[in-house]
Structure 1
């Protein structure tokens, strides 16, 4: 048996390097922030509006308590101010300033604080974790959302055996509108389910994001692949049972963008990419024409009306009011605060005050006018441009033009495609988790445009360790 002695010529064996406890705590904290942000409606339904506001406020204060001392320790190294997502920050600043002319100043202050909180947390995550760690944290957060959704649906169907109201209030004896329920007890009867987020459309969108994140982790060579496949099956099950037409459109958009990215990566010369761009432009025009002229048949097949389930009437009502202040808008409020006099009873859907315009661009125009629309266009144009070439270009920082593509690099452009598609029928991309993804990816791509390369990137760890050696 080999022994260590004074004559040994090799160094003594040592344990493999372990991650610092502080950084493990940081990753766990980021998972908590992501969970609370993506499942904020679950927190709202659990502890009410005051409790959910306190929860997000405590998390933001904790984020600043962690981040500010870390920034102070970096001196004299300067913070990379030039790499901040300035278009997104300009939109946030304009939203906060709009309290000066807002038609609902209290709602502007409340939702402005929410927007600022989400922005701060997104910037913190982008600055604190590597690309690999961000995607792992997203995966962990979605596992919690899916797992708790399954447990809640099972508990309601097998134990409670009745629909569940928010805050665990007792259901009244008389029949009420199903839209008031947190969980409708549809798991075993084939109806649409809501999960812990309490909304079928939101649950379906989150399931698509989860499938994208899990798929990227699989492609990156993550360990515990069997577990990942099980989570993907659960996400696909929830996606089907949620029955969301908006999510179906988002899934198609994500699939088309993924195929395009893979084709672009296979192109050997610029001319091949040009032909792909032209072909996809022609297909897009034909598809849009088909959807527009055949919308009655298409929406009937999806179980929706040709007016997009009342959305056309909502858009018309919102645009009419927006025309009163077309340049700087009526004042920021995302979401609309339903108890504010400016929104209470204005637009009702099944007896519930609508809290957004069901279109992100109509919503921005209504709240912040043409100036807000220009800032939002600049934000998304910058993100689309950077995320697209982040996905389709080979990692390169010297003369070596043959490095392997990173599987993780496709995630931002896929999720941006999802947000833009969802934004046609919902306002989710401009608030809560939608806005967090915009700021997070905008900041991270500008700061670290190559996965695994740069001073801020750490070891290539994916789901417990590298399955195979990654390209530098």
Structure 2
């Protein structure tokens, strides 16, 4: 086996690809590409973006090959991920757009492979630091282009979908294509920067400036979806901080009490949803979503069990997505909800597996953040929660950077709380010699 490895990778190449410095640089490139997909498509087209992603996967594969002896593959990946991806792949065979479905499945698998690489070669704190550096750059670039468009040129930057509304204090789009996308990325950045501050991973002034930048762009995005997610994540962070200070002996009772409080609060929010939507000025957006969801439910009855086949982002010119847009008089490229999107594309089977994937990721990461002393474990818990909440009104978690972060956090949480790992710990530590 060693001879095979040496024949595939020359010693010099294996040393370079297996080095920590190369893994660090490749991590920055992967995260930068994942969060810059809209920017790359706008400047280089789909061909340029795909070439970059394929090159990153090839480099990640070579890097893993050179480091495989030091990597623990046991219990990877979580079964919920395998079940969901398996159903996604199978859906190609009954899809109404087979070629499109096949290419979109491969696109999803590219980001899955990159996410697996990140979890295998980088610790959580290393991922936080790398993501912090990437998002500082992209948020800074977004603000600079908004200032250029709205104040200096007073013209929109059409190819980036920047409308130049900064003089009116938003809504801004940055380099992410829409205000909801900018808001979600800024929220992810805020969580990341806060963890950097708490863990003292970067200089204090740099962390404070980064937090201020992310908060400013959340406000200027004018995204009601992000505002709602911001409030929920903020309350969750406070609850998590309190639970982490509770003695371990009574922590489970506090967790159950918190779960009951969340259930009651969810019921109250549902009863007061009209007033909350008016407060967030999200009435028109919610009406668009509810109209689209009604049509999705109607068309899903034709393929309720298996769905119409995976495509990820919609093809507005192809049925059945053409029918949905005609029925709602819109030009949507998603169901504006990850749950409705999965139900429409993958049916009830896909929806159940997706809920299991998301649910296990939330529960495992939350329990880890509650029990582990290091503050870095708070990061995956809050990131997954932000993605889960946003999934109610956006489909970002089903592709590109949203999917990558979900897989990273799910695997990180599973590595520490996997039932397969528990079985391994109960196996005999040594085998008697014959």
Q: TM-score, normalised by structure 1?
A: 0.79
1:220 equivalent to 2:199? Answer yes
- What corresponds to 1:34 in structure 2? 31
Larger relative contact order (Cα-Cα within 8 Å, sequence gap ≥ 6): 1
SS in 2 for 1:335: coil
- How big is each residue's C-alpha offset from its partner over 1:355-400, in whole Å with a ceiling of 9 and x where there is no partner? 1111111111111111111211221232123212211114xxxxxx
Aligned counterpart for 2:43 among listed residues 46, 50, 53: 46
Matched, 1:433 2:428: no
Q: Is the aligned partner of 1:367 residue 2:345?
A: yes
The CA deviation at 1:254 is 1.0
Provide the residue aligned with 2:167 in structure 1. 188
Structure 1 counterpart of 2:86: 93
User: Cα distance 1:95–1:193, how it changes in 2: closer, same or farther (>3 A)?
Assistant: same
* Higher CA-based Rg: 1
1:198 aligns with 2:177: yes
Aligned mates of 2:237, 2:132 — CA distance in 1? 19
CA distance in 2, matches of 1:288, 1:57: 42
Is the alpha carbon distance of 1:272 and 1:145 closer, same or farther for their aligned partners in structure 2, counting shifts above 3 Å?
same
Match for 1:241 among 217, 220, 234? Answer: 220
Q: Judging changes above 3 Å, is the alpha-carbon distance between structure 1 residues 134 and 349 closer, same or farther for their aligned structure 2 residues?
A: farther
Mapped partners of 2:122, 2:251: distance in 1: 36
- Residue matched to 1:410: 378
Using the TM superposition, give the Cα deviation of residue 292 of structure 1 relative to its aligned residue in structure 2, in angstroms: 2.5
Aligned counterparts of 1:275 and 1:36: Cα–Cα separation in 2:
41
The reply to whether residue 317 of structure 1 matches residue 295 of structure 2 is yes
Partners of 1:194 and 1:378 in 2: CA distance: 32
The 5 Å alignment of 1:65-464 reads 65-71=62-68, 74=69, 79-166=72-159, 182-268=161-247, 270-271=249-250, 273-275=252-254, 277-278=256-257, 280-305=258-283, 308-344=286-322, 346-347=324-325, 353-394=331-372, 405-447=373-415
Matches of 1:193 and 1:155, distance apart in 2: 12
The 1-side partners of 2:414 and 2:248 are apart by 26
Between Structure 1 and Structure 2, the one with more helix by share is: 2
Shift of 1:113: 1.0
Rounded to whole Å, the distance in 2 between the matches of 1:25 and 1:289 is 49
Counterpart secondary structure, 2:303: coil
Q: Would the aligned equivalents of 1:356 and 1:427 in 2 still touch at CA under 8 Å?
A: yes
Q: CA deviation at 1:295?
A: 2.3
Structure 1 residue runs of 5 or longer lacking an equivalent are: 1-18, 168-181, 395-404, 451-472
C-alpha separation in 1, matches of 2:319 and 2:121: 41
TM-score (norm 2): 0.86
Q: Call closer, same or farther: CA 1:349–1:205 in 2, change over 3 Å.
A: farther
Offset of residue 440 of structure 1: 0.8
